[in-house]
Protein backbone atom coordinates (compact mmCIF):
# COMPACT_ATOMS: atom_id res chain seq x y z
CA UNK A 1 0.00 0.00 0.00
CA UNK A 2 1.36 3.38 -0.92
CA UNK A 3 0.76 6.39 1.25
CA UNK A 4 1.59 9.88 0.32
CA UNK A 5 2.83 11.87 3.24
CA UNK A 6 2.53 15.55 2.97
CA UNK A 7 4.89 17.92 4.56
CA UNK A 8 3.10 19.93 7.16
CA UNK A 9 2.05 23.09 5.50
CA UNK A 10 -0.28 25.15 7.36
CA UNK A 11 -3.47 26.46 7.57
CA UNK A 12 -6.65 26.83 9.26
CA UNK A 13 -8.92 26.35 11.95
CA UNK A 14 -11.30 25.05 14.21
CA UNK A 15 -12.07 25.05 17.76
CA UNK A 16 -12.30 22.96 20.71
CA UNK A 17 -13.01 21.82 24.13
CA UNK A 18 -12.13 18.37 27.37
CA UNK A 19 -12.84 15.78 30.92
CA UNK A 20 -11.91 14.27 34.08
CA UNK A 21 -10.48 10.83 33.91
CA UNK A 22 -12.90 8.69 35.80
CA UNK A 23 -13.22 4.96 35.54
CA UNK A 24 -16.96 4.41 35.71
CA UNK A 25 -18.68 1.10 35.81
CA UNK A 26 -21.50 1.14 33.32
CA UNK A 27 -24.49 -0.98 34.15
CA UNK A 28 -26.43 -2.86 31.52
CA UNK A 29 -29.34 -0.46 31.90
CA UNK A 30 -30.20 1.38 28.70
CA UNK A 31 -28.13 4.53 28.70
CA UNK A 32 -30.10 7.56 29.88
CA UNK A 33 -27.54 10.15 30.81
CA UNK A 34 -26.63 11.60 27.47
CA UNK A 35 -27.62 15.19 26.76
CA UNK A 36 -29.57 15.62 23.52
CA UNK A 37 -28.27 18.24 21.09
CA UNK A 38 -31.02 20.28 19.44
CA UNK A 39 -30.64 20.88 15.69
CA UNK A 40 -30.08 24.44 14.44
CA UNK A 41 -31.06 26.14 11.22
CA UNK A 42 -28.49 25.73 8.45
CA UNK A 43 -27.88 27.85 5.38
CA UNK A 44 -28.94 25.79 2.35
CA UNK A 45 -26.64 25.31 -0.63
CA UNK A 46 -25.61 23.52 -3.80
CA UNK A 47 -23.19 20.62 -3.31
CA UNK A 48 -21.57 20.84 -6.76
CA UNK A 49 -20.79 24.52 -6.26
CA UNK A 50 -19.53 23.67 -2.78
CA UNK A 51 -17.10 21.09 -4.12
CA UNK A 52 -15.86 23.47 -6.77
CA UNK A 53 -15.25 26.20 -4.20
CA UNK A 54 -13.51 23.76 -1.84
CA UNK A 55 -10.89 22.70 -4.41
CA UNK A 56 -10.66 25.86 -6.55
CA UNK A 57 -11.91 28.64 -4.30
CA UNK A 58 -10.18 31.57 -2.64
CA UNK A 59 -11.21 31.17 1.01
CA UNK A 60 -7.56 31.87 1.75
CA UNK A 61 -6.37 34.87 -0.19
CA UNK A 62 -2.64 34.79 0.41
CA UNK A 63 -0.11 32.10 -0.46
CA UNK A 64 2.81 31.36 -2.70
CA UNK A 65 3.22 32.37 -6.36
CA UNK A 66 2.76 29.38 -8.66
CA UNK A 67 6.37 29.53 -9.92
CA UNK A 68 7.75 29.51 -6.40
CA UNK A 69 5.45 26.71 -5.38
CA UNK A 70 6.77 24.62 -8.28
CA UNK A 71 10.35 25.59 -7.45
CA UNK A 72 9.94 24.38 -3.86
CA UNK A 73 7.67 21.37 -4.38
CA UNK A 74 7.99 20.35 -8.02
CA UNK A 75 4.93 19.67 -10.14
CA UNK A 76 2.39 17.27 -8.66
CA UNK A 77 2.24 14.07 -10.70
CA UNK A 78 -0.96 12.56 -9.35
CA UNK A 79 -3.60 15.19 -10.06
CA UNK A 80 -5.98 13.27 -7.77
CA UNK A 81 -8.68 15.91 -8.23
CA UNK A 82 -8.55 15.77 -12.04
CA UNK A 83 -8.06 19.53 -12.25
CA UNK A 84 -7.01 21.17 -15.52
CA UNK A 85 -4.44 23.76 -16.61
CA UNK A 86 -1.85 24.87 -14.07
CA UNK A 87 -4.06 23.67 -11.20
CA UNK A 88 -3.31 20.10 -12.37
CA UNK A 89 0.32 20.66 -11.29
CA UNK A 90 -0.58 21.68 -7.76
CA UNK A 91 -1.04 19.08 -4.98
CA UNK A 92 -4.62 18.17 -4.02
CA UNK A 93 -4.13 20.01 -0.74
CA UNK A 94 -3.61 23.38 -2.45
CA UNK A 95 -5.82 25.58 -4.60
CA UNK A 96 -4.67 27.74 -7.49
CA UNK A 97 -6.45 31.09 -7.32
CA UNK A 98 -6.37 34.56 -8.80
CA UNK A 99 -6.18 37.72 -6.69
CA UNK A 100 -5.68 41.42 -7.30
CA UNK A 101 -1.92 41.00 -6.92
CA UNK A 102 -1.35 37.67 -8.55
CA UNK A 103 -2.85 35.71 -11.39
CA UNK A 104 -1.51 32.37 -10.16
CA UNK A 105 -1.41 32.07 -6.42
CA UNK A 106 -1.13 28.71 -4.65
CA UNK A 107 -2.97 28.60 -1.33
CA UNK A 108 -3.46 25.70 1.10
CA UNK A 109 -6.94 24.16 1.17
CA UNK A 110 -8.98 22.14 3.70
CA UNK A 111 -7.60 18.83 2.39
CA UNK A 112 -4.30 19.56 4.14
CA UNK A 113 -6.03 18.09 7.17
CA UNK A 114 -9.27 16.64 5.74
CA UNK A 115 -7.89 14.44 2.95
CA UNK A 116 -5.60 11.42 2.97
CA UNK A 117 -4.20 9.14 0.33
CA UNK A 118 -5.08 5.58 1.36
CA UNK A 119 -3.76 2.82 -0.85
CA UNK A 120 -3.50 4.69 -4.14
CA UNK A 121 -6.67 6.75 -3.74
CA UNK A 122 -7.31 10.16 -2.31
CA UNK A 123 -10.13 9.91 0.24
CA UNK A 124 -11.73 13.34 0.54
CA UNK A 125 -12.98 13.91 4.07
CA UNK A 126 -10.71 11.34 5.73
CA UNK A 127 -8.66 13.06 8.45
CA UNK A 128 -4.98 13.23 7.59
CA UNK A 129 -3.11 11.36 10.33
CA UNK A 130 0.29 11.80 8.69
CA UNK A 131 0.81 15.50 9.35
CA UNK A 132 3.80 16.28 11.51
CA UNK A 133 3.14 19.14 13.91
CA UNK A 134 6.21 18.17 15.95
CA UNK A 135 8.13 19.98 13.27
CA UNK A 136 5.72 22.83 12.87
CA UNK A 137 7.53 25.38 10.77
CA UNK A 138 8.72 28.34 12.74
CA UNK A 139 9.95 31.69 11.65
CA UNK A 140 13.47 30.35 11.21
CA UNK A 141 12.30 27.52 9.00
CA UNK A 142 14.85 27.26 6.20
CA UNK A 143 12.51 26.71 3.26
CA UNK A 144 10.24 29.50 4.46
CA UNK A 145 13.18 31.87 4.78
CA UNK A 146 14.45 31.05 1.30
CA UNK A 147 10.98 31.50 -0.13
CA UNK A 148 10.59 34.83 1.61
CA UNK A 149 13.95 36.13 0.41
CA UNK A 150 13.27 35.00 -3.14
CA UNK A 151 9.93 36.68 -3.16
CA UNK A 152 11.19 39.90 -1.63
CA UNK A 153 14.12 40.41 -3.92
CA UNK A 154 13.18 38.71 -7.13
CA UNK A 155 9.48 39.39 -7.30
CA UNK A 156 8.10 42.18 -5.15
CA UNK A 157 4.62 41.64 -6.65
CA UNK A 158 4.70 38.03 -5.51
CA UNK A 159 5.80 39.06 -2.05
CA UNK A 160 2.77 41.27 -1.79
CA UNK A 161 0.56 38.19 -2.39
CA UNK A 162 2.35 36.17 0.28
CA UNK A 163 2.80 38.86 2.88
CA UNK A 164 -0.40 38.24 4.82
CA UNK A 165 0.15 34.48 4.96
CA UNK A 166 3.73 34.95 6.10
CA UNK A 167 2.60 37.39 8.79
CA UNK A 168 0.04 34.92 10.15
CA UNK A 169 2.39 31.97 10.04
CA UNK A 170 5.40 33.63 11.50
CA UNK A 171 3.24 34.87 14.38
CA UNK A 172 1.57 31.56 15.23
CA UNK A 173 3.86 28.78 13.97
CA UNK A 174 6.24 28.84 16.94
CA UNK A 175 3.31 27.87 19.19
CA UNK A 176 1.95 24.89 17.25
CA UNK A 177 4.29 21.99 18.14
CA UNK A 178 2.63 18.75 19.26
CA UNK A 179 4.29 15.96 21.30
CA UNK A 180 3.92 13.34 18.62
CA UNK A 181 3.47 13.03 14.88
CA UNK A 182 -0.01 12.21 13.56
CA UNK A 183 -2.12 14.38 15.88
CA UNK A 184 -3.46 17.72 14.73
CA UNK A 185 -3.02 21.18 16.26
CA UNK A 186 -5.98 22.87 14.53
CA UNK A 187 -7.56 23.81 17.84
CA UNK A 188 -4.40 25.63 18.77
CA UNK A 189 -4.35 27.33 15.40
CA UNK A 190 -7.87 28.57 16.00
CA UNK A 191 -7.04 29.92 19.46
CA UNK A 192 -3.97 31.72 18.16
CA UNK A 193 -5.70 33.27 15.17
CA UNK A 194 -8.60 34.45 17.24
CA UNK A 195 -6.21 35.99 19.77
CA UNK A 196 -4.81 38.23 17.05
CA UNK A 197 -8.15 39.45 15.70
CA UNK A 198 -10.67 42.00 16.89
CA UNK A 199 -13.91 40.03 17.30
CA UNK A 200 -16.19 42.65 15.75
CA UNK A 201 -14.03 43.99 12.90
CA UNK A 202 -11.80 40.90 12.43
CA UNK A 203 -8.90 43.35 12.11
CA UNK A 204 -5.44 41.80 12.68
CA UNK A 205 -3.31 42.81 15.64
CA UNK A 206 0.39 41.95 15.77
CA UNK A 207 0.16 41.72 19.56
CA UNK A 208 -2.21 39.05 20.92
CA UNK A 209 -5.40 40.55 22.39
CA UNK A 210 -6.11 37.46 24.55
CA UNK A 211 -3.85 35.48 26.89
CA UNK A 212 -2.38 32.50 25.06
CA UNK A 213 -2.66 29.32 27.17
CA UNK A 214 0.34 26.97 27.34
CA UNK A 215 -1.15 23.72 26.11
CA UNK A 216 -1.28 22.56 22.52
CA UNK A 217 -4.31 20.27 22.52
CA UNK A 218 -3.87 17.25 20.21
CA UNK A 219 -6.83 15.97 18.19
CA UNK A 220 -7.48 13.38 15.53
CA UNK A 221 -9.23 14.98 12.55
CA UNK A 222 -12.89 13.79 12.36
CA UNK A 223 -14.21 12.38 9.06
CA UNK A 224 -16.38 14.78 7.06
CA UNK A 225 -19.00 12.16 6.18
CA UNK A 226 -20.16 12.09 9.82
CA UNK A 227 -21.28 15.70 9.78
CA UNK A 228 -24.60 15.05 8.00
CA UNK A 229 -25.92 13.25 11.10
CA UNK A 230 -24.64 15.66 13.72
CA UNK A 231 -26.54 18.54 15.30
CA UNK A 232 -23.32 20.09 16.64
CA UNK A 233 -19.80 20.43 15.34
CA UNK A 234 -16.54 19.33 16.98
CA UNK A 235 -15.67 16.59 19.46
CA UNK A 236 -17.15 18.38 22.43
CA UNK A 237 -20.20 19.39 20.40
CA UNK A 238 -19.74 23.06 21.20
CA UNK A 239 -20.21 24.29 17.62
CA UNK A 240 -23.89 25.36 17.43
CA UNK A 241 -25.94 27.45 15.08
CA UNK A 242 -24.85 27.76 11.47
CA UNK A 243 -22.08 25.27 10.58
CA UNK A 244 -20.90 27.33 7.60
CA UNK A 245 -19.60 30.01 9.95
CA UNK A 246 -17.29 27.41 11.55
CA UNK A 247 -16.33 25.89 8.23
CA UNK A 248 -14.99 29.23 7.08
CA UNK A 249 -12.81 29.86 10.14
CA UNK A 250 -9.63 29.07 8.21
CA UNK A 251 -10.33 32.37 6.56
CA UNK A 252 -9.00 34.03 9.75
CA UNK A 253 -5.50 33.32 8.48
CA UNK A 254 -5.79 35.92 5.75
CA UNK A 255 -9.11 37.81 6.01
CA UNK A 256 -8.91 41.60 5.69
CA UNK A 257 -12.18 42.74 7.20
CA UNK A 258 -15.81 41.78 7.74
CA UNK A 259 -16.90 42.67 4.21
CA UNK A 260 -14.39 40.15 2.87
CA UNK A 261 -15.63 37.63 5.45
CA UNK A 262 -19.23 38.22 4.34
CA UNK A 263 -18.26 37.57 0.71
CA UNK A 264 -16.51 34.33 1.71
CA UNK A 265 -19.54 33.25 3.74
CA UNK A 266 -21.78 33.42 0.64
CA UNK A 267 -20.06 30.16 -0.47
CA UNK A 268 -20.31 28.20 2.75
CA UNK A 269 -23.91 27.02 2.47
CA UNK A 270 -22.64 25.30 -0.68
CA UNK A 271 -19.59 23.86 1.07
CA UNK A 272 -21.83 22.46 3.82
CA UNK A 273 -24.13 20.89 1.21
CA UNK A 274 -21.08 19.21 -0.34
CA UNK A 275 -19.74 17.94 3.01
CA UNK A 276 -23.16 16.47 3.77
CA UNK A 277 -23.14 14.59 0.48
CA UNK A 278 -19.91 12.66 1.18
CA UNK A 279 -20.30 8.91 1.80
CA UNK A 280 -17.72 6.82 3.67
CA UNK A 281 -15.57 4.38 1.68
CA UNK A 282 -16.67 0.72 1.80
CA UNK A 283 -14.59 -1.89 3.61
CA UNK A 284 -12.41 -3.38 0.85
CA UNK A 285 -12.13 -7.02 2.03
CA UNK A 286 -14.58 -9.83 2.64
CA UNK A 287 -16.80 -9.78 5.72
CA UNK A 288 -18.10 -12.88 7.57
CA UNK A 289 -21.88 -12.29 7.33
CA UNK A 290 -22.88 -14.62 10.20
CA UNK A 291 -20.32 -13.16 12.57
CA UNK A 292 -21.30 -9.62 11.56
CA UNK A 293 -24.96 -10.38 12.18
CA UNK A 294 -24.14 -11.63 15.71
CA UNK A 295 -22.11 -8.47 16.12
CA UNK A 296 -25.07 -6.35 15.04
CA UNK A 297 -27.24 -7.78 17.84
CA UNK A 298 -24.49 -7.16 20.40
CA UNK A 299 -23.93 -3.64 19.06
CA UNK A 300 -27.62 -2.78 19.25
CA UNK A 301 -27.75 -3.98 22.85
CA UNK A 302 -24.52 -2.37 24.09
CA UNK A 303 -23.67 0.54 21.84
CA UNK A 304 -26.69 1.86 19.90
CA UNK A 305 -28.05 3.97 22.76
CA UNK A 306 -25.12 6.26 22.19
CA UNK A 307 -24.01 5.57 18.61
CA UNK A 308 -27.33 4.88 16.84
CA UNK A 309 -28.37 2.17 14.41
CA UNK A 310 -27.25 1.51 10.84
CA UNK A 311 -28.40 -0.36 7.76
CA UNK A 312 -32.14 -0.55 7.02
CA UNK A 313 -33.15 1.51 10.01
CA UNK A 314 -30.85 4.48 10.45
CA UNK A 315 -31.08 6.39 13.73
CA UNK A 316 -28.63 8.68 15.45
CA UNK A 317 -29.39 9.99 18.95
CA UNK A 318 -27.10 13.08 18.87
CA UNK A 319 -25.95 12.79 22.48
CA UNK A 320 -23.28 14.52 24.49
CA UNK A 321 -21.85 12.12 27.06
CA UNK A 322 -20.69 13.61 30.37
CA UNK A 323 -17.02 13.23 31.33
CA UNK A 324 -17.71 11.06 34.36
CA UNK A 325 -19.29 8.45 32.10
CA UNK A 326 -17.02 8.59 29.09
CA UNK A 327 -13.75 9.07 31.03
CA UNK A 328 -11.57 9.83 28.02
CA UNK A 329 -8.81 12.45 28.15
CA UNK A 330 -10.15 15.71 29.57
CA UNK A 331 -7.78 18.36 28.24
CA UNK A 332 -9.89 19.22 25.18
CA UNK A 333 -13.20 20.03 26.85
CA UNK A 334 -11.66 21.43 30.04
CA UNK A 335 -9.85 24.08 28.06
CA UNK A 336 -13.19 25.76 27.41
CA UNK A 337 -13.85 26.19 31.10
CA UNK A 338 -10.31 27.02 32.17
CA UNK A 339 -9.89 29.53 29.41
CA UNK A 340 -13.29 30.90 28.53
CA UNK A 341 -12.00 34.03 26.77
CA UNK A 342 -11.98 32.11 23.50
CA UNK A 343 -15.68 31.23 23.82
CA UNK A 344 -16.41 34.82 24.81
CA UNK A 345 -14.48 36.11 21.79
CA UNK A 346 -16.49 33.92 19.45
CA UNK A 347 -19.90 34.61 20.94
CA UNK A 348 -19.50 38.37 20.52
CA UNK A 349 -17.75 38.15 17.16
CA UNK A 350 -18.90 38.76 13.59
CA UNK A 351 -19.50 34.98 13.32
CA UNK A 352 -22.18 35.09 16.00
CA UNK A 353 -24.10 37.92 14.31
CA UNK A 354 -26.25 38.57 11.26
CA UNK A 355 -28.29 35.97 9.45
CA UNK A 356 -27.26 32.37 10.19
CA UNK A 357 -25.40 33.13 13.42
CA UNK A 358 -23.14 30.56 15.06
CA UNK A 359 -22.25 30.19 18.73
CA UNK A 360 -20.07 28.13 21.03
CA UNK A 361 -21.69 26.24 23.88
CA UNK A 362 -19.20 24.31 26.02
CA UNK A 363 -19.95 20.95 27.64
CA UNK A 364 -17.95 18.81 30.04
CA UNK A 365 -17.75 15.69 27.94
CA UNK A 366 -17.83 14.55 24.33
CA UNK A 367 -20.31 13.81 21.59
CA UNK A 368 -20.91 10.09 20.86
CA UNK A 369 -20.00 10.15 17.16
CA UNK A 370 -21.71 8.29 14.31
CA UNK A 371 -19.55 5.27 13.39
CA UNK A 372 -20.01 5.24 9.59
CA UNK A 373 -16.76 4.28 7.84
CA UNK A 374 -15.15 3.65 11.25
CA UNK A 375 -12.89 0.96 9.73
CA UNK A 376 -10.79 3.56 7.91
CA UNK A 377 -10.57 6.33 10.51
CA UNK A 378 -7.90 4.92 12.88
CA UNK A 379 -6.44 5.91 15.25
CA UNK A 380 -9.43 6.20 17.59
CA UNK A 381 -10.87 8.57 20.20
CA UNK A 382 -10.80 12.33 19.86
CA UNK A 383 -7.05 12.44 20.50
CA UNK A 384 -6.14 9.46 18.30
CA UNK A 385 -4.64 7.71 21.35
CA UNK A 386 -5.85 4.18 20.51
CA UNK A 387 -4.38 2.61 17.36
CA UNK A 388 -6.99 -0.07 16.55
CA UNK A 389 -10.64 -1.02 17.07
CA UNK A 390 -9.47 -4.18 18.86
CA UNK A 391 -7.68 -2.03 21.45
CA UNK A 392 -10.56 0.42 21.67
CA UNK A 393 -12.95 -2.37 22.63
CA UNK A 394 -10.53 -3.99 25.09
CA UNK A 395 -8.90 -1.39 27.29
CA UNK A 396 -6.27 -3.90 28.53
CA UNK A 397 -4.99 -4.17 24.98
CA UNK A 398 -4.37 -0.43 24.64
CA UNK A 399 -0.66 0.27 24.31
CA UNK A 400 0.85 2.90 26.62
CA UNK A 401 3.64 3.81 24.17
CA UNK A 402 3.13 2.85 20.55
CA UNK A 403 4.89 3.69 17.36
CA UNK A 404 3.61 3.77 13.80
CA UNK A 405 5.86 3.50 10.79
CA UNK A 406 4.98 6.71 8.97
CA UNK A 407 7.29 5.92 6.05
CA UNK A 408 5.94 2.48 5.23
CA UNK A 409 2.56 2.74 6.84
CA UNK A 410 0.49 -0.43 6.75
CA UNK A 411 -3.11 -1.06 7.74
CA UNK A 412 -4.04 -4.00 9.93
CA UNK A 413 -7.30 -5.51 8.62
CA UNK A 414 -7.59 -7.91 11.55
CA UNK A 415 -7.37 -5.49 14.45
CA UNK A 416 -8.60 -2.64 12.20
CA UNK A 417 -6.24 0.26 12.42
CA UNK A 418 -2.64 1.21 11.81
CA UNK A 419 0.01 -1.45 12.36
CA UNK A 420 2.14 -0.42 15.31
CA UNK A 421 4.94 -1.57 17.63
CA UNK A 422 4.65 -1.39 21.40
CA UNK A 423 7.56 0.52 22.98
CA UNK A 424 8.91 0.56 26.56
CA UNK A 425 9.26 4.30 26.51
CA UNK A 426 8.43 7.24 24.30
CA UNK A 427 11.77 8.72 23.31
CA UNK A 428 11.05 10.01 19.83
CA UNK A 429 8.42 12.02 18.00
CA UNK A 430 6.79 9.07 16.26
CA UNK A 431 5.98 7.21 19.47
CA UNK A 432 2.59 8.10 20.93
CA UNK A 433 2.99 8.77 24.64
CA UNK A 434 -0.30 8.23 26.50
CA UNK A 435 1.27 9.54 29.76
CA UNK A 436 1.10 13.11 28.51
CA UNK A 437 -1.84 15.38 29.36
CA UNK A 438 -4.14 15.53 26.32
CA UNK A 439 -2.77 12.22 25.03
CA UNK A 440 -4.28 9.81 27.60
CA UNK A 441 -6.00 6.64 26.37
CA UNK A 442 -8.35 6.19 29.33
CA UNK A 443 -12.13 5.79 29.32
CA UNK A 444 -14.69 4.38 26.91
CA UNK A 445 -14.44 0.93 28.53
CA UNK A 446 -17.81 -0.25 27.18
CA UNK A 447 -16.20 -3.10 25.20
CA UNK A 448 -14.51 -4.57 28.29
CA UNK A 449 -17.63 -6.32 29.50
CA UNK A 450 -17.92 -8.29 26.26
CA UNK A 451 -16.13 -11.62 25.82
CA UNK A 452 -13.32 -12.01 23.28
CA UNK A 453 -15.66 -13.70 20.81
CA UNK A 454 -18.31 -11.04 21.29
CA UNK A 455 -15.74 -8.30 20.64
CA UNK A 456 -14.68 -10.04 17.44
CA UNK A 457 -18.29 -10.17 16.33
CA UNK A 458 -18.77 -6.46 17.06
CA UNK A 459 -15.61 -5.63 15.10
CA UNK A 460 -16.88 -7.70 12.16
CA UNK A 461 -20.11 -5.69 12.29
CA UNK A 462 -18.25 -2.36 12.53
CA UNK A 463 -16.60 -3.21 9.19
CA UNK A 464 -20.03 -3.03 7.53
CA UNK A 465 -20.83 0.53 8.66
Select the span of 71-79, 145-153, 259-267, 370-378 touching ligand HEC (CB under 6 A).
370-378
> Shortest distance, CB of residue 196 to ligand HEC, whole angstroms?
16
Q: Determine, following the binding rule CB under 6 A, whether residue 116 of this chain makes contact with ligand HEC.
A: no
> Shortest distance, CB of residue 96 to ligand HEC, whole angstroms?
16
Measured CA to CA, the distance from residue 43 to residue 396 in angstroms comes to 45
How many amino acids of this chain bind ligand HEC (CB under 6 A)?
54
Q: Determine, following the binding rule CB under 6 A, whether residue 382 of this chain makes contact with ligand HEC.
A: yes
Q: Determine, following the binding rule CB under 6 A, whether residue 171 of this chain makes contact with ligand HEC.
A: no
- For residue 416, with 0-12 CB atoms within 10 Å meaning exposed, 13-18 middle and 19 or more buried, which class applies? buried
Q: Determine, following the binding rule CB under 6 A, whether residue 371 of this chain makes contact with ligand HEC.
A: yes
Q: Which is nearer to ligand HEC, 154 or 301 (CB)?
A: 301
- For residue 143, with 0-12 CB atoms within 10 Å meaning exposed, 13-18 middle and 19 or more buried, which class applies? exposed
Measured CA to CA, the distance from residue 291 to residue 165 in angstroms comes to 52
Measured CA to CA, the distance from residue 245 to residue 42 in angstroms comes to 10
> Shortest distance, CB of residue 22 to ligand HEC, whole angstroms?
13
Q: Determine, following the binding rule CB under 6 A, whether residue 446 of this chain makes contact with ligand HEC.
A: yes
Which x/- pattern, by CB under 6 A, does the window 221-260 give for ligand HEC?
A: xx-x-xx--x--xxx-----------x--x----------
Q: Determine, following the binding rule CB under 6 A, whether residue 159 of this chain makes contact with ligand HEC.
A: no
Residues numbered 311 to 340 that lie near ligand HEC (CB under 6 A) are 321, 325-326, 328
Q: Determine, following the binding rule CB under 6 A, whether residue 202 of this chain makes contact with ligand HEC.
A: no
> Shortest distance, CB of residue 303 to ligand HEC, whole angstroms?
3
Measured CA to CA, the distance from residue 332 to residue 131 in angstroms comes to 19
Which x/- pattern, by CB under 6 A, does the window 48-67 give for ligand HEC?
A: -----------x--------
Which x/- pattern, by CB under 6 A, does the window 13-42 give for ligand HEC?
A: -x-x--------------x-----------
Asked if residues 196 and 204 have their Cβ atoms less than 8 Å apart, the reply is yes
> Shortest distance, CB of residue 253 to ligand HEC, whole angstroms?
9
Q: Which is nearer to ligand HEC, 67 or 309 (CB)?
A: 309
- For residue 142, with 0-12 CB atoms within 10 Å meaning exposed, 13-18 middle and 19 or more buried, which class applies? exposed
Q: What are phi and psi of 248, to 5 degrees?
A: -90, 10
Select the span of 98-106, 336-344, 365-373, 421-429 touching ligand HEC (CB under 6 A).
365-373
From the list 429, 443, 434, 447, the residue with the least C-alpha distance to 399 is 434
HSE of 434, CA atoms in CB hemisphere, 13 A: 24
Q: Which is nearer to ligand HEC, 30 or 85 (CB)?
A: 30
Q: Which is nearer to ligand HEC, 104 or 330 (CB)?
A: 330
From the list 382, 364, 22, 40, the residue with the least C-alpha distance to 184 is 382
Alpha carbon of 246 to those of 208, 211, 250: distances in Å?
Answer: 21, 22, 9
Measured CA to CA, the distance from residue 306 to residue 434 in angstroms comes to 25
Measured CA to CA, the distance from residue 424 to residue 402 in angstroms comes to 9
> Shortest distance, CB of residue 79 to ligand HEC, whole angstroms?
20
From the list 4, 448, 12, 25, the residue with the least C-alpha distance to 248 is 12
Asked if residues 240 and 20 have their Cβ atoms less than 8 Å apart, the reply is no
Measured CA to CA, the distance from residue 127 to residue 115 in angstroms comes to 6
Q: Determine, following the binding rule CB under 6 A, whether residue 302 of this chain makes contact with ligand HEC.
A: yes
Q: Which is nearer to ligand HEC, 159 or 346 (CB)?
A: 346
Select the span of 116-124, 161-169, 353-361, 371-379 touching ligand HEC (CB under 6 A).
371-379
CA 96 to chain centroid, in Å, comes to: 23
Measured CA to CA, the distance from residue 95 to residue 58 in angstroms comes to 8
Q: Determine, following the binding rule CB under 6 A, whether residue 343 of this chain makes contact with ligand HEC.
A: no
Question: Which residues here bind ligand HEC, judged by CB under 6 A?
Answer: 11-12, 14, 16, 31, 59, 110, 112-114, 184, 186-187, 189, 219, 221-222, 224, 226-227, 230, 233-235, 247, 250, 271, 275, 299, 302-303, 305-307, 321, 325-326, 328, 366, 368-369, 371, 374, 377, 380-382, 389, 392-393, 444, 446-447, 458
Amino acid sequence: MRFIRKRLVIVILILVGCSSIAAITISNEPFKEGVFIEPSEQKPGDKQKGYDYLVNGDYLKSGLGYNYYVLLNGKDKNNFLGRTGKAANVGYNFNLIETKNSKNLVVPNCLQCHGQVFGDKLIIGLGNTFLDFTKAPNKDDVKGTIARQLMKFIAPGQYQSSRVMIRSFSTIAPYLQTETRGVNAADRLATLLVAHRNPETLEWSDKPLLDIPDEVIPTDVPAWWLLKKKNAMFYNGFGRGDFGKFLMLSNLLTVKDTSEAAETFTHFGNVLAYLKSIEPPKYPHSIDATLASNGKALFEKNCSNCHGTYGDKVTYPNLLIPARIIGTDSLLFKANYQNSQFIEWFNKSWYAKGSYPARLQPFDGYIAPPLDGIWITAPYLHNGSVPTLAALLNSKERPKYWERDFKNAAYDYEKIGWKYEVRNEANNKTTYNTDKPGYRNTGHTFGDRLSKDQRNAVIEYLKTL
